[in-house]
């Protein structure tokens, strides 16, 4: 089977776009990725389109990719619509990679586009609940509240009930953070250190939704969302799109003036009915990805991790094997995950600052790694970056992600 390369990258800044929609954002980044690859649209042989909420907000429940691509003159090719919650865009890339790897296509397109902002903010917030097991939603809330009672840490009493004024995922992450604090002694200040680091990275990224630097003290003083998470530690609601063009090794030889990045591994997996002390989906899939690529976590030069909250980054830093379980907080405080550190994480600013339009986030991670490995990241460039990892989780069932993709990329 052929090796697979990324040859085109396209992305718009993630933020609130009251006058834009899923279609025009997707078309813009598709044109950008094709231009970056120096390809005409007629050369694309297959496309994979990621979106989660277009049907809920605008009634476009079906044939989303076909609607977008056909109206820009890309037709007749196979188009696959992908919905995997927050892991939708990385799943689209996984499918494009798989098709090229298997020899079905020489060149394929992966797109993610999402509009979540809405005049009715509660509609936006409650939409996230559809990324869980809806029929068992009440059971999930009860589980979180019962777990809260078992933690031997001080939890403020004046919190609103889960999901009352925020995405339910903030409560799920808060539960995980409290479990980690209870078991390993991690602290709210360590979560704030992760957040402050990401705000600094975001201040260097013109594509980030938030570009304001924050100190640890400012993060801690921000409004409490769900203990121990303050507002700064949580990914904002926003809109955006990203796209990637991939091709086979033989096709790459026909091209000129491109700066490719090799995909060493692409792994997609589903969560299990484990308890909080069982093997995490990230640990399991990271081992698979490292085995496919023939490398280990110590070889990774930078990573984009799914930090819908600061605790998400702490947890995934451990799950990817960058530090031992329980040491994600001290590892971040040491400066290892900051630009200039041992293994910079979320140089884009992460979901906390770059933003998190659900169906596009996974490809935004790939965009960041791609420009880093191409040496085009400007003020946030990681020196001598050769190997990058992207971890993108989607949805929640039980105590972990319903789906997850891990990609390992290499500079050519």
Q: Which residues are known to be catalytic?
A: 86, 356
Cα angle value 81/169/59 (rounded, 5°): 35
Cα–Cα separations (whole angstroms), residue 311 to 181, 195, 196, 338: 10, 9, 13, 16
Q: At what angle do helices 137-148 and 168-184 cross, to 10 degrees?
A: 30
- Residues 6 or more apart whose Cβ sits within 8 Å of residue 317: 305, 323, 328, 331, 332, 337, 345
Cα angle value 87/397/332 (rounded, 5°): 65
228: preceding bond cis by omega (within 30 degrees): yes
Looking at 151-279, list the stretches that DSSP marks H as alpha helix, in order from N- to C-terminal side.
168-184, 188-203, 216-221, 249-252
Which residue shows structure tokens 């001598």? 384
For residue 179, the tally of other CB atoms under 10 A from its CB is: 21
Which residue spans within 200-341 are E strands per DSSP? Answer: 224-226, 229-230, 240-248, 261-270, 302-304
Decide: 320 and 297 in contact? Cβ < 8 Å.
yes
CA distance 26 to 149: 45
CA distance 31 to 16: 21
CA distance 140 to 399: 9
Beta bridge partners of 19: none
CA distance 123 to 364: 24
Q: What are phi and psi of 24, to 5 degrees?
A: -70, -30
Decide: 51 and 245 in contact? Cβ < 8 Å.
no
CA distance 63 to 54: 11
CA distance 141 to 383: 44
Decide: 22 and 28 in contact? Cβ < 8 Å.
no
């Amino acid at each position: 089977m052929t090796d697979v390369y990324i040859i085109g990258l396209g992305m718009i800044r993630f933020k609130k776009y009251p006058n834009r929609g899923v279609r025009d954002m997707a078309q813009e980044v598709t044109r950008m990725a094709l231009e970056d690859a120096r390809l005409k649209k007629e050369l694309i042989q297959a496309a994979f389109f990621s979106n989660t909420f277009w049907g809920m907000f605008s009634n476009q429940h079906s044939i989303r990719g076909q609607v977008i691509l056909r109206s820009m003159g890309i037709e007749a090719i196979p188009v696959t619509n992908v919905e995997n919650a927050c892991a939708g865009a990385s799943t689209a890339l996984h499918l494009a990679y798989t098709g090229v790897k298997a020899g079905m296509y020489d060149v394929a397109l992966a797109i993610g586009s999402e509009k979540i902002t809405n005049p009715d903010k509660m509609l936006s917030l409650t939409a996230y609940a559809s990324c869980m097991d809806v029929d068992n939603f009440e059971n999930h809330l009860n589980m979180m509240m019962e777990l809260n009672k078992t933690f031997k840490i001080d939890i403020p009493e004046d919190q609103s009930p889960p999901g009352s004024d925020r995405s339910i995922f903030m409560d799920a992450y808060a539960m995980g953070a409290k479990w980690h604090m209870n078991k390993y002694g991690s602290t709210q200040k360590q979560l704030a250190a992760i957040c402050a680091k990401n705000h600094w990275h975001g201040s260097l990224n013109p594509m980030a939704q938030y570009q304001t630097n924050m100190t640890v003290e400012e993060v801690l003083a921000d409004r409490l969302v769900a203990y121990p998470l303050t507002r700064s530690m949580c990914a904002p609601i926003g809109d955006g799109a990203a796209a990637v063009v991939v091709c086979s090794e033989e096709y790459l030889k026909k091209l000129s003036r491109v700066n490719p990045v090799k995909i060493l591994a692409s792994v997609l997996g589903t969560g299990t009915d484990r308890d909080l002390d069982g093997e995490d989906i990230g640990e399991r899939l990271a081992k698979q990805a490292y085995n496919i690529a023939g490398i280990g976590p110590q070889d990774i030069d930078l990573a984009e991790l799914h930090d819908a909250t600061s605790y998400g980054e702490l947890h995934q830093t451990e799950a990817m094997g960058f530090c031992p379980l329980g040491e994600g907080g001290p590892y971040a405080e040491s400066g290892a995950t900051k630009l200039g550190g041992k293994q910079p994480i979320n140089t884009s600013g992460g979901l906390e600052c770059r933003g998190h339009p659900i169906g596009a986030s996974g490809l935004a991670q790939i965009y960041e790694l791609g420009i880093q490995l191409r040496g085009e990241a400007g003020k946030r460039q990681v020196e001598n970056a050769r190997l990058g990892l992207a971890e993108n989780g989607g949805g929640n069932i039980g105590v972990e992600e319903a789906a997850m993709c891990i990609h390992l990329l290499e500079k050519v």
